Structure 1
Amino acid sequence: MDTVRLHRLCLGVTLLLGGCTVGPDYRPDRVDLPHGFNAAPDGDVGAGWTRATHDWWAQLGDPVLNDLVEIATRNNLDIREASAHLLAERELRARDEAALSPQVSVGAQAGNLQYSTATEYPPGLTGVDSNTRFWGYSLNVSWELDVFGRVRRGLEARDASVDALEAQRRGVLLATVSELVSDYAALRAAQARREVALANLRSTRDSAALVQRLYARGLANTLQTAEAQTEVDRARATIAPFDTVATQARDAIAVLLGRPPEAIGVDLNTPRALPTPPPLPAVLPSMVVANRPDIRVAERRYAEATARIGVAVAALYPDFTVPLTFDPSSAMIHTLMTTNALAWSALLSATAPLYTGGRLSAQVKAARAEAEAARLDYQHTIIRAFAEVEDALAAFHNEATRQGALADAVRDSSAALDRSERLYGAGLTGYLDVLSAQRSAYAARDARITSQLALMSDAVNTYRAIGAGWQGISVTETTLPVPHDEQARWAKHWRPHV
């Protein structure tokens, strides 16, 4: 290629590279945020939020729970799966970026060519050997000039997808921690309710023994002894369901830890007190938008869909490529590097759609519709997030009020049970009063534990709703299951032998 033509080709490439990027530029919607939440606690928003976003579960003061969270953030299979998807998307982004660079390939050929001797062309040609040895090699370069931004818009979409998967992994992390705390609270609540049921069983057995003593003295009848024994049987029957709930909670925790139930590695059989949730942090709607992973996912998917419009629009415009080929060939290997053996081509190629039956315009319309759907989903996600925060805050405060009333009920019912048992022992009241007092006292204690569990669940839901928890955890990047050097050995092992 002479110098003049080379300069002209370089100038043409430079002009083409200065082309425009078609399609709309992404601009996120302006979101009108409320001034605050109706049920939000008072306090210093900044300080409260900082404490809440970093290991809020540690404020429960339970070292066993802290150990479980640490194990789960390392071993949870959902988190590791989300990390693998993120790793794959980043590699796909690197693959798409390679389209901006020239693609170079090399090849080599060697062999014999056998020609037909049944025909002569040109006519009268004689003395031509029908068997020819052939040697050749090639260097091929192809460079797509991204004049209208098809590749660049695709990279914008891929970048947004990477960000969305990163936020999605944060959402998986947040969900894992929240579910773990909820399952742990359910386990401790089941153990506490079992202890209350055992205490009630002991109380009914004591009452039954008292009835038997009074019966032996002629101060009670067989109906009362039967009722007392029935109450003992009823109390004994309430214990087994709590064992079932505890077993299910332990198994759920094992799944979150990424381990079989028999290999949890943490003592969960020894009962511990049900954690008491700390005061909820003050939070603003802007913090929720900034920290909730699902909102970030929706916003990034909206950006990705907007970039896909540019990809679809670019397909309406010509494609420009620069194919360069260097293809020497010779019948003898020692002449392969000579000037006569050289063959090359340098072109500037352009292709443009002429008629596609409406396929390309339909793709553009579909991309615009998908972007609009993503925009609406983004808005819907924000509104839903605010509603979830309001619901969680209201549920927490209402349950806290209910728990205060249940504490009074436990105190009053315990006093009533004590009085009824003393009056019955003195023969001043009937046994039905004792049974009624026992049932009321047991129901009040059991309801109080259930309320404590509900309050804990409301606290977990609130932390999850405001997007708190993932900020304080560093997730190790997932690597490929097979190291690169081992992959190379596999490739070498399975390479076909020529």
Structure 2
Amino acid sequence: MSKTLMAAAIAALLGGCSLMPEYERPAAPVEADFSAHGAAAASGQQLAADIGWRQFFGDPRLQRLVDVALENNRDLRVAVLNIEIARAQYGVTRADQFPTLSGNANGTRQRTPADLSYSGRAAVGSTYQVNLGVTAYELDLFGRVRSLSAAALNQYLATEESRRSTQISLIAQLANAYLNERASDELLALAERTLKTRQESYDLIKLRYDAGAASGLEFQQAESLIQSARAEHAVAERSKAQATNAIVLLIGQPLPAGLPPPRPLHEQSLMTDVPVGLSSQLIERRPDVRAAEQQLRSANANIGAARAAFFPRISLTGSFGTASSQLSGLFDSGSHAWSFAPQISLPLFDAGRNRANLDLAEARKNVAVANYEKSIQTAFREVADALDAKGSYDMQIQAQQALVEASQRSFELSDMRYRNGVESYLTLLDAQRSLFTAEQGLLQARTQRLNNLVALYKSLGGGWEENTVVSTQQPAAAATVRQ
């Protein structure tokens, strides 16, 4: 019984204690849900973070571009390599919790001159050794090494969450770039149609001017209008080229051959009903928030290491093996050799260094708390902004569509009246400008609405899973109303 108690006491001594503060997640400084921003309860629905990007983005061309980006994007590649660095750093720190055994074999042969020899005669001596040794192994009685290992582990986990966040941001950026490229393509087509229409008007005015039926002012107005259309066409061409360049940068290579044909902007099949859930679910699923919490845990663990620095540090150095003056007798009976050299270090005076290190660790934890709370507030605001904009974009598009239809009718009537000599060319000019502006506004509103849906999906943590994860506790048929 006494041997058992002694073994337990030794195990407790070697296991030591931990001076690391108990971690408590700070209270979230946001509302409990998003009901104030028009979000309905999402009971029984799949969380947005579990909706695969293949299900959210229905355009096959965009899906293929995402595949290429995940393989070649350099920012994502750096994020993956950072995980490898953090994993290796954690492995180095974790190894300090265990003794390092090393095997050594050495032989020494030396001659001692007569004036240095105890016998007064020159002598030649030999020493041969083989041993296993432990060098400066720290008994972690106060949890210093374990605290440092925990801090390194949390840093590694934070890096892994950052990699997830990088992928989500990459997919969202690529989706927005693709939507902008589609919008630029349609804007270019609109500019070409407008240029064609104005060219026809210019040709008509020129005929009337040559026949003396139109004034020089009307002719100059027509010419200025067509030059304006050419400028708009050049802008649209530049915008489309730059949008394509943005896609190429994000996918990390030139556009691959054999891509599926693009879909028009109004046929983009993004999920419009994205389950929002509660703010607590947002905290648990957003990778950037989870990374900030891992950073907080790491800072909390560093406080334990800083506290342990006030207490003694005990390290062990020893070896066990065999030694002999003859190589042939190295493993003979009685040649065993060992050494044991424990060392204890007790801080007595360090001019306040340990106190300052503890203050530094506590200050860094406070900074980590503030960063964690800020990440939650940022996440909540991003979701709230996207929700607030979601309904207003629908109303804006409806109004803009009605404006385009009204402007189209106004242009047709003005053109007919001008051809019949009832209306002035200035009225027709204003009608053309109004129609072009209205069509541009509708295209812009549709693009912004789709970009906002992408922002909502990203802000809820979506974009990490390739395909939707179906929970066994939730119905498989989540709300997936498509545009």
Give TM-score, length-normalised by structure 2: 0.88
Residues 136 and 282 of structure 1: is their aligned pair in 2 closer, same or farther, counting only changes over 3 Å? Answer: closer
Match runs of 1:33-48 below 5 Å: 33-38=30-35, 40-43=37-40, 45-48=42-45
- Could you give the per-residue CA deviations for residues 156-183 of structure 1, whole angstroms, max 9, x where no partner exists? 2122212211211111011001100000
CA gap of 1:191–1:48, structure 2 versus 1, over 3 A, is farther
Q: CA deviation at 1:222?
A: 3.0
Q: CA deviation at 1:65?
A: 0.8
CA distance in 2, matches of 1:35, 1:202: 55
1:387 counterpart (375, 381, 388)? 381
Cα gap change, 1:270 to 1:10, in 2 (>3 Å): closer
Cα deviation digits, residues 437-495 of structure 1 (max 9, x gap)? 11110111011111111112222222222222214469xxxxxxxxxxxxxxxxxxxxx
CA contact (8 A) 2:126 2:325 kept: yes
Moved more, 295-304 or 47-56: 47-56
CA distance in 1, matches of 2:218, 2:263: 36
Q: CA RMSD in A?
A: 2.8
8 Å Cα contact 1:33-1:286 kept in structure 2 = no
Q: In the alignment, which residue of structure 2 is the partner of 1:279?
A: 272
Gaps of 5+ in 1: 1-5, 475-498
Question: Are residues 126 and 339 of structure 1, via their aligned partners in 2, closer, same or farther at CA, if it must alter by over 3 Å?
Answer: farther
Q: Are residues 7 and 286 of structure 1, via their aligned partners in 2, closer, same or farther at CA, if it must alter by over 3 Å?
A: closer
**Superposition deviation, residue 247 in structure 1:** 1.8
Q: 1:132: Cα distance to partner?
A: 3.7
The whole-number CA distance in structure 2 between the counterparts of 1:7 and 1:47 is 54
- Please say if 1:66 is aligned against 2:59: no
Distance in 2 between residues matched to 1:11 and 1:414, nearest whole Å: 89
Secondary structure (helix, strand or coil) at the match of 2:96 reads: helix
Report the alpha carbon displacement of residue 266 of structure 1 after superposing the two structures with TM. 5.6
Aligned with 1:470: secondary structure? coil
- Provide the C-alpha distance between the structure 1 equivalents of 2:211 and 2:316, rounded to a whole number of angstroms: 112
TM-score, length basis structure 1: 0.85
Is 1:88 equivalent to 2:77 in the alignment?
Answer: no
The CA distance in 1 between the partners of 2:404 and 2:466, in whole Å, is: 39
Q: Following superposition of structure 1 onto structure 2, how do residues 156-171 of structure 1 map, counting pairs within 5 Å? A: 156-171=150-165
Closer, same or farther: CA 277–337 of 1 in aligned 2, 3 Å: closer
Offset from partner CA, 1:401-449 (integer Å, 9 cap, x none): 2222211110011101101111111011111111111111011101111
Match for residue 431 of structure 1? Answer: 425
Partner of 1:312: 306
Task: Kindly indicate whether the alpha-carbon contact (under 8 Å) linking 1:25 and 1:307 is maintained by their aligned counterparts in 2.
Answer: no
Instruction: Give 5+ residue unaligned stretches, structure 2.
Output: 469-483
Q: Aligned letter for 1:236? A: R
Deviations 1:209-260 (A, max 9, x none): 221333344322333223212211211111122222222222221222122x
Q: 1:61 to 1:451 in 2, by over 3 A?
A: same
1:76 aligns with one of 73, 78, 99: 73
Query: Does the aligned pair in 1 maintain the 2:386–2:456 contact within 8 Å?
Result: yes
Q: 1:473 to 1:357 in 2, by over 3 A?
A: farther
Distance 1:470 1:69, change over 3 A: same
Following the alignment from structure 2 to structure 1, what is the Cα–Cα distance between the partners of residues 275 and 467? 21
State the shift of 1:287 in Å. Answer: 2.2
The alpha-carbon distance between structure 1 residues 436 and 9, as it changes in their structure 2 partners (threshold 3 A), is same
Query: How many residues get paired?
Result: 463
Alignment partners' CA distance in 1, 2:57 and 2:327: 80
- Alpha-carbon distance change, 32 to 215 in structure 1, aligned in 2, over 3 angstroms: closer
Q: Is the 8 A contact 1:58 1:66 kept in 2?
A: no
Aligned to 2:131: 138
Relative distance call for 1:201 and 1:270 in structure 2 (3 A) is: farther
Residue number in structure 1 paired with 2:204? 210
Cα distance between partner residues in 2 of 1:22 and 1:157: 13
- Kept in 1, the 8 Å contact 2:47–2:275? The answer is no
Q: CA deviation at 1:69?
A: 1.4
Q: CA–CA distance in 1 between the matches of 2:122 and 2:206? A: 125
Decide which moves more: 198-207 or 237-246. 237-246
Q: What CA distance in whole angstroms lies between the structure 2 residues aligned with 1:15 and 1:451?
A: 68
1:171–1:293 CA contact under 8 A, matched in 2: yes
SS in 2 for 1:361: helix
Q: Check the 8 A contact 1:41/1:280 in 2, yes or no.
A: no
1:334 Cα offset (Å): 1.0
The structure with higher relative contact order (CA 8 Å, sep 6+) is: 2
Contact 1:53–1:472 at 8 Å: present in 2 too? no
Report if aligned partners of 2:29, 2:373 keep a CA contact under 8 Å in 1.
no
Is residue 2:23 matched to residue 1:29?
A: no
CA distance in structure 1 between the partners assigned to 2:327 and 2:270 by the alignment: 83
Matched, 1:303 2:297: yes
State the SS of the aligned residue for 1:338: coil
One-letter code of the match for 2:265? A
Residue in 2 aligned with 1:440? 434
Question: C-alpha deviations, 1:71-115, integer Å up to 9, x for none?
Answer: 222332222221221122223222222222221111222353243
Q: State the identity %.
A: 27
Could you tell me which amino acid in structure 2 is paired with residue 352 of structure 1?
A: L
CA distance in 2, matches of 1:113, 1:9: 47
| 1:57 CA drift (Å) | 6.1
Listed as ranges, the matches of 1:310-389 within 5 Å are 310-326=304-320, 328-339=322-333, 341-389=335-383
Which residue in the other structure is 1:224 paired with? Answer: 218
Name the CA shift for 1:35/1:370 in 2 (closer, same or farther; >3 Å).
closer
Displacement of 1:277 after TM fit? 4.5
- The structural deviation recorded for 1:301 is 0.8
